Amino acid sequence: MDPTGPSESIYNLIPSDWKEPPQPPRYVSIFKATVKDDMQKFKTAMKTMGPAKLEVPSPKNFLKKHSKEKILPPKKKFEWNDRRKPPVPLRTDHPVMGIQSEKNFINTNAADVIMGVAKKPKPIYVDKRTGDKHDLETSGLVPKYINKKDYGVTPEYICKRNEEVKKAQEEYDNYIQENLRKAAMKRLSDEERDAVLQGLKKNWEEVHKEFQSLSVFIDSIPKKIRKQKLEEEMKQLEHDIGVLEKHKIIYIANKK
């Protein structure tokens, strides 16, 4: 390699007379001018950069000194209208001396203690062997509420609400009864409901027993049909039993 000669490069393999192919013309919409005119036509003032024309302030209306300070009200003479305290006694004033009481405070105090009612000790309780004392009344160990006169008595507002609920239930029952008479419906009694429920449970036991007696291998179409039929009967019986157990009041249509 000759150090004085041109350096080797892959770009030297490109012929020198090669030129780049001309670029295709850029697409320009035929509606460009129409869209531009529409935008200029319907463009409102103050939409982007504020009002188009703004009044320039006059140089005569410059900010003057103390122009923004608050104007205080005029001064008034202070007058004290509240009542003043009594004056301080003079140094030459002397208190009244020599006044004595004939009351025997020792005997009076002794009589008050003898004739007074003894103070009851505050009830406390000790919960540790170290002697920690606590107030007994606020501890919850004293049965206060069971000794009240109204303990265990139903509040008046609950009694009033129960009466309103009972009255509403009676009105609803009367409304249902009237509609049932019009629709020829009959209400099942408790004995009839229990008899129907027991009958459904007995039928379910019989179908379940028959289902248990099926063969282990269901290898024919009649056996499959028989199994599906028993399963549907058991499912329907379980549904009917659940409805009767859930609803205490049952209505049925009268037979014509």
Q: How many domains does the chain have?
A: 1
Question: What's residue 52's pLDDT?
Answer: 64
Question: What's residue 49's pLDDT?
Answer: 66
149 within domain boundaries: no
- What is the number of other CB atoms lying within 10 angstroms of the CB of residue 237? 19
48 within domain boundaries: no
Question: What's residue 249's pLDDT?
Answer: 79
Integer Cα distance of 161 and 172 in angstroms: 16
Integer Cα distance of 216 and 227 in angstroms: 11
Which residues of the chain carry a pLDDT beneath 50?
1
150 within domain boundaries: no
Bridge partners of 252, per DSSP, are 186
Q: What are phi and psi of 94, to 5 degrees?
A: -125, 140
Over the Cα atoms of the chain, what is R_g? 55
Domain range for residue 202? Answer: 186-252
- pLDDT tens, position by position, 215-232: 877 788 888 888 889 899
Question: What's residue 164's pLDDT?
Answer: 95
206 within domain boundaries: yes
209 within domain boundaries: yes
229 within domain boundaries: yes
Question: What's residue 48's pLDDT?
Answer: 61
- pLDDT tens, position by position, 32-58: 999 888 888 877 655 666 666 778 888
236 within domain boundaries: yes
18 within domain boundaries: no
Question: What's residue 157's pLDDT?
Answer: 93
